Structure 1
């Protein structure tokens, strides 16, 4: 994809890390090869940071379309309303929100680590129970 095919919105989404990995890779490759494109991105960021506050910009920067972390946890457990589950699936797969994908992956890994954490807590408690009993005043 030639660097002129990227829209301003694409480039700003790249800067904010809100593009799927394949689109981000294409823009990154184009940026490496084009001083003109790097200058274009610099100007876009400068213009945006000087107070260009459109509704779309506010929506994207504050990630108003993203489900909350607790909603992603409910999605992972299969405890969401079916319509909202469809939306989250769309957001993750079709939109390709990398932030939400990373949150979901973090929740998955913490869910897998939960049994180990519970065993460690029980061992800590059991190992300190005797110490606590011996420190109680008689």
Structure 2
């Protein structure tokens, strides 16, 4: 299988989906030409030569920041902005943004569980005081 320069650069940046990464890794074991191509890209990078696409990916120019992703999760973004984030995560498959969203969802869930536990403890610890004041 022939890969584009952009795909190989994304492979070196670990910016492909897990299935695409494993596909290239598997082919790399048997295809010497692919190994030569990857070494050439790596050598070019070490020499300081970078493509516009490579700079774009490396600096994650198209990635929303965590504040924007948090607003997306809360559902407070304008429709166009929310649609872009959905496209960026679902279609483009940005692993960094997907990981950020998963992290924020986990933290949100943990915070909700912690708040519920705290409320229960407050209620249980003050239940005796409330009964005494009602008597």
- 1:80 is displaced (CA, Å) by 1.0
Out of 64, 67, 70, the residue aligned to residue 70 of structure 1 is 67
Deviations 1:11-39 (A, max 9, x none): 11011111122222211211122233123
Could you tell me how far 1:117 is from its partner in structure 2?
3.9
Q: State the number of aligned residues.
A: 120
The residue that corresponds to 1:88 in the other structure is 85
Q: Give the alignment's TM-score, normalised by structure 1.
A: 0.77
Q: Residue 51 of structure 1 aligns to a residue in which SS? A: coil
The higher radius of gyration belongs to 2
- The superposition leaves residues 111-137 of structure 1 with CA deviations (integer Å, 9 ceiling, x where unpaired) of 1101344467787xxxxxxxxxxxxxx
Alignment of 1:32-51 (within 5 A): 32-51=29-48
Q: TM-score, normalised by structure 2?
A: 0.79
C-alpha RMSD of the superposition: 1.9
Aligned-residue offset at 1:40? 1.7
Q: Mind listing any 5+ residue stretches in structure 2 that lack a counterpart?
A: 122-135
Specify whether residues 121 and 64 from structure 1 end up closer, same or farther in structure 2 by C-alpha distance, changes over 3 A only: farther
Match of 1:12 among 2, 9, 13: 9
Q: Say whether residues 1:101 and 2:101 are aligned partners.
A: no
Gaps of 5+ in 1: 124-138
